Amino acid sequence: MTDYEQLISNLAQLKLNNFSENYQNYSTEVDQQRLSFGEALLKLTESELQYRRDQEIKKRI
């Protein structure tokens, strides 16, 4: 199993669905914008939190 495959598997096991679905886009964005590890991680966690909020709202509707 490649590192990428293991990462996607780990994210799925942790139920970090948004991370898993958008990892490739984030990876490209980090490379293009030359973000630090901390900045990239912050963007990923903010996106995951927003995704979860949106899912909660959809469940209530």
Summarised one tens digit per residue, pLDDT across range 4-49 is: 899 889 998 999 988 888 888 888 888 888 888 888 889 888 989 9
Class of residue 52 by CB neighbours under 10 A (exposed 0-12, middle 13-18, buried 19+): middle
Neighbours of 55 (CB within 10 A): 12
The pLDDT of residue 44: 86
The pLDDT of residue 55: 92
Residue 15 in contact with residue 3, Cβ under 8 Å?
no
Quote the CA–CA distance of 31 and 14 in Å, as a whole number: 25
60 CA to centre of own chain = 24
The pLDDT of residue 50: 94
Angle between helices 37-60 and 17-33 (to 10 degrees): 140
